[in-house]
Structure 1
Amino acid sequence: MEEILAIMEELSGLGVSKDKIAASSALTSILNILDSENKGFQQQAIRIMYNLSFSREVCPRMLSLKCIPKLLPFFKDRTLLRYCIYILKNLCDTEEGKNSVAETKGCIASVADILHTGNNEEQEHALAVLVSLCSQHVNYCKLVMREHEDIITPLFLISQNGNDKGKASASELIHILNDVNIVENEGCPEPNISNSSRDSDSHPEENRPSKRSPFFKKLSPFSKSSNASKTKR
């Protein structure tokens, strides 16, 4: 089995082989390995899924086989987390993938936890998943805030200390969630969140809400300490 999986892992990295693997019964067998007790085989299976997830033609097949619930237990494995979150990121390039992530119990919470526990690269990919959800669906924004009430704290920290992509995505998600939360608290018309990040980049002061939501008062201690440190300099 180990040799077979090694061959499939090699083939799954070749563009011409991805569709053939997905079209065969091999993908089902690979997913079934995740239910086994053999950690070595599980690691190989996830690396194969990682390679396959870069094909937009293969992703729908993976989703139809309910791959996301099978992946969630491996988010706790530090050696596999990078592969798992990247698979989700690739799946979220499709509308079906976004829906599956949002509808899979515990998935958003697992992704949001990476903002606390992951390294810069893992945080970057987790944020890409959350932004892809929240930038298109107000209901997904509300779901993210329900699943992780303290999400604003790690978002602020990443916006200051993450890698370049992580900083940009964290800032974008803060603005999106802020807009949606103001709607929730003040009964305003729902914002056009799909355009919010682009608009805020081009006209930041014109398009940013003038009222601060209670949800974002958690930022105050960080803002004060930041201002204080600037004053000392």
Structure 2
Amino acid sequence: MEEEEEEAMLNKEEEEDDDEEDYNIVKFQNSPLRNRAIMVDEVAWRLKNGDLMMRIEAAKEVRKMVRKSSNSNSKSAVRCRFAASGAIEPLVSMLNNWFPLSAREAALLALLNLAARNLRNKTRIVSLGAVPPLVELLKCQTGNLRELAGAAILALSSAASNKPTIAASGAASLLVEVLCSGSVQGKVDAVTALYNLSISEEGPKLIVDVKAVPPLIHLLKECKKYFKFAEKTTFLLEIFSSSEEGRMAITNVDGGILTLVETVEDGSSISMEHAVGVLLSLCRSCRDKYRELILNEGAIPGLLRLTAEGTSVAQERARTLLDLLRYSPPESRLTSSELERIVYDFTVHVDGTDKAVETAKRLLQGIVRKSMELSFSRVKIRASSCTPSKIQST
């Protein structure tokens, strides 16, 4: 997970009153390293040996010590020292449902701060059994706790070794619930967590309910198409486009295809690649059904641009999709003159009148070449289906 996402995750926590800073925190910031270690060890001892109220206050102290550290190096040192002092295990224990919600929230906030930018702590938190109680907290009707649990799943899912455990826990379906009904930040956290779990190279492929599609498209509509968040959203939508149920969900959302077309036009290179992948998946599955829907949203200019400026994968997908959009039944076929006019108008807008003819010619030649390659490939496939024995027997 990117550093800015973890910062956003921590910044969204409910801020405490900082007007009366605890004296020990001030002392911690200004003391030598040896005294810092002593203070961390004292807090860890209270987490392990104190009564309920003492443990809750100690958990709050963990969060304060990390957040009040003066710089990133200091924060990292505090996180490592807390882990070395054995503070993680009692904090994980406090997540369980036999503790009151106040204790669970304090422990959750402490663990979020210990996990941020620390792969070893993330792995340790999961190995000590944090995932099952976090899944239970995702079911909580208290919005703040549910979304803090989602933020924790997000943080922990960025560690590759944690992904199989989280994916097997049933967290994905609960993240979809957050995606459907949570706050904007809760939805963003849910999308990123689902993305992290979907790119796992270990364990079975993550199955996500298609009811995630409408909020995904809505979020893509609202965000800047070149943001990293759009890359994660379009990645998930491309996964959904591989099934008929997912394709129907995408096209049933008002403005769903238009949002993908706009991403092809305005997205980053990665989100463009995924967005055109979705459109291509739709058209390949049933060209007669989806061709007009895609053309009606004005996809041609963005696809033409992508054939020249996209990644190698995006260029190939755009060319293939253009070919599918052109070759259609006679009554709805895009004529050569129509295509030439569209290409010329597009290149005038991009390169100006002086270079438009040259650029349009190059783009049209690329489309024709690709079409010929596909046609030749089909001929080869048909020819290979005729074995020598069949030829001799005819």
Establish whether TM, by shorter chain, passes 0.5: yes
Return the TM-score normalized by structure 1.
Answer: 0.71
TM-aligned CA distance change 1:124 to 1:212, over 3 Å: farther
1:77 shift after superposition: 1.5
1:7 and 2:7 correspond: no
Q: In the alignment, is residue 23 of structure 1 matched against residue 139 of structure 2? A: no
Correspondent of 1:145 among 247, 268, 285: 247
Contact 1:159–1:167 (8 Å) recurs in 2: yes
1:165 aligned to 2:270?
A: yes
CA distance in 1, matches of 2:139, 2:176: 12
Counterpart in the other structure of 1:100: 207
- Note if contact 2:280-2:317 (Cα within 8 Å) is conserved in structure 1: no
2:143 is aligned with 1:39: yes
- Deviating beyond 6 angstroms after TM superposition, the runs of 4 or more aligned structure 1 residues are none
**What displacement does 1:126 show?**
0.9
Contact 1:11 1:17 in 2 (8 A): yes
Report the alpha carbon displacement of residue 202 of structure 1 after superposing the two structures with TM.
Answer: 5.3
What residue number does 2:315 align with? 201
Which residue pairs with 1:211 in the alignment? Answer: 327
Shift of 1:160: 1.7
* Shift in Å, 1:171: 2.4
User: Would you say the 8 A contact 2:213–2:249 is kept in 1?
Assistant: yes
1:53-92 paired onto structure 2 within 5 Å: 53-75=157-179, 76-92=182-198
Indicate the SS of the match to 1:36: coil
Paired residue for 1:193? none
Q: What are the ranges of 5 or more consecutive residues in structure 2 without an aligned counterpart?
A: 1-102, 291-310, 354-394
Q: List gaps (5 residues or longer) in structure 1.
A: 186-196
Larger Rg: 2
What CA distance in whole angstroms lies between the structure 2 residues aligned with 1:147 and 1:49?
A: 26
In 2: Cα distance, 1:97 partner to 1:155 partner: 28
Aligned equivalents of 1:69 and 1:91: distance in 2?
A: 12
Partner Cα distance (2:262, 2:210) in 1: 27
> Higher relative contact order at CA 8 Å, sep ≥6: structure 1 or structure 2?
1
Contact 2:273 2:314 in 1 (8 A): no
Q: SS at the partner of 2:161?
A: coil
- Number of residues paired by the alignment? 209
Whole-Å separation in 2 of the counterparts to 1:33 and 1:183: 46
Looking at structure 2, the residues matched to 35 and 48 of structure 1 have their Cα atoms a distance apart, in angstroms, of 14
3-state SS in 2 of match to 1:100: coil
Query: Structure 2 length normalisation: TM-score?
Result: 0.45
Whether the 8 Å contact between 1:91 and 1:98 is mirrored in structure 2 is no
C-alpha distance in 1, partners of 2:114/2:282? 41
Aligned to 1:189: none
Alpha carbons of 1:20 and 1:183: their partners in 2 closer, same or farther (altered >3 Å)?
farther
Q: Matches of 1:98 and 1:118 in 2, distance apart?
A: 27
Matching residue of 1:176: 281
What per-residue deviation string (whole Å, max 9, x for no partner) do you get for residues 177-218 of structure 1? 222323989xxxxxxxxxxx966635965784352599xx9x
Instruction: Deviation per CA, 1:87-113: give whole Å up to 9, x if none.
Output: 111111137675411xx2513343333
2:25 aligned partner: none
Cα distance in 2 between the residues matched to 1:5 and 1:204: 45
Cα deviation digits, residues 133-160 of structure 1 (max 9, x gap): 54xx4xx2x2221112253211111212
Question: 2:192 & 2:110 partners in 1: Cα distance?
Answer: 22
Q: Which residue of 1 aligns with 2:359?
A: none
The answer on whether the counterparts of 2:277 and 2:317 sit within 8 Å (CA) in structure 1 is no
Q: CA deviation at 1:129?
A: 1.4
Report the Cα distance in structure 2 between the residues aligned to 1:90 and 1:203, rounded to whole angstroms: 24
**In structure 1, what is the Cα distance between the partners aligned to 2:151 and 2:316?**
40
Provide the C-alpha distance between the structure 2 equivalents of 1:97 and 1:131, rounded to a whole number of angstroms.
18
1:126 matched to which residue of 2? 233
User: What is the root-mean-square deviation in Å for CA atoms of aligned residues?
Assistant: 3.8
